[in-house]
Amino acid sequence: MVGFLEAIPVQNSTRLWQECGVANGRSGNKPVPPLNEEKLRALALHYVGKYATTKARLGTYLTRKIRERGWDGERHTDVAALVEQFAELGYIDDAQFAEARSRSFVRRGYGERRLDEDLRAGGIGHADAVAAKEHMSESSFAAAENFARRKRIGPFASTSASPEKRQKQLQAFLRAGHGFALSKRFVEADVGDELAED
């Protein structure tokens, strides 16, 4: 048996990954057909049906797919026009997306700065983000309270924290996008305290 095992070459798993890639269910010999206007529209429709997205993300996705698969035909389609058409039809609404993200961030305990970063990364303009930012500023105390409850900080902790641990908790609050004053209120609160919104 030992001779049999020695005959099998042992490959490094990283090297195997680089040479073979991932099995994606498609035959390696079949090329992916290039896109045309009809296929691109179907691809976009499938994407917006599956994911809540923004105009910028849909445009990036379609551009990437054209680059990966190529284009069948002489006339290249205008991705921006297709994205605008989907927005006019109501398949994409950046303002609604921003408001949904704002509500989600409040529930998860994230602050205003974190929402701003997320909306900017999603390509949402200032006009579409106004209502979401207003909601977040109105709900900033609730978001901080949710974060403290989730991380068991301050009034939601089981035991009082040491000064070093409080420093780390304050840093976690700030990374979550909350303001310094609000973060400090929660971190310095004693176990079981009830904080009131200002």
Confidence of residue 4 (pLDDT cuts 50, 70, 90): low
Residue 119 CB coordination number (10 Å) = 24
Q: Is the pLDDT of residue 7 over 80?
A: no
pLDDT digits over 15-72, tens only? 555 566 555 555 566 788 889 999 999 999 999 999 999 999 999 999 999 999 988 8
pLDDT digits over 158-196, tens only? 999 999 999 999 999 999 999 999 999 999 999 988 888
pLDDT digits over 88-109, tens only? 999 999 999 999 999 999 999 9
CA distance 184 to 173: 9
115 contacts 133 by C-beta, under 8 angstroms: yes
| Phi then psi dihedrals of residue 35, to 5 deg | -85, 150
Per-residue pLDDT, 89: 96
Q: Is the pLDDT of residue 74 over 80?
A: no
Question: Whole-number mean pLDDT of the chain?
Answer: 88
Per-residue pLDDT, 160: 92
- Of 40, 119, 50, nearest to 91 by C-alpha is 50
Tokens of 190: 């004693």
- Of 157, 99, 154, 100, nearest to 132 by C-alpha is 99
Per-residue pLDDT, 30: 79
Tokens of 119: 């909306």
DSSP 8-state assignment for residue 35: B
Per-residue pLDDT, 25: 53
CA distance 123 to 146: 27
Tokens of 134: 């207003």
Helix axes 94-108, 112-121, angle to 10 degrees: 140
Q: Is the pLDDT of residue 75 over 70?
A: yes
Per-residue pLDDT, 134: 96
Question: Residue ranges of the alpha helices (H) in 90-179?
Answer: 94-108, 112-121, 126-138, 140-151, 163-175
Nearest-5° Cα angle at 68, 83 to 16: 140
Q: Is the pLDDT of residue 13 over 80?
A: no
The residue ranking higher by pLDDT, 61 or 197, is 61
For the chain, give me the number of helices (H) and strands (E)? 11, 0
191 contacts 153 by C-beta, under 8 angstroms: no
pLDDT digits over 105-153, tens only? 999 999 999 999 999 999 999 999 999 999 999 999 999 999 999 999 9
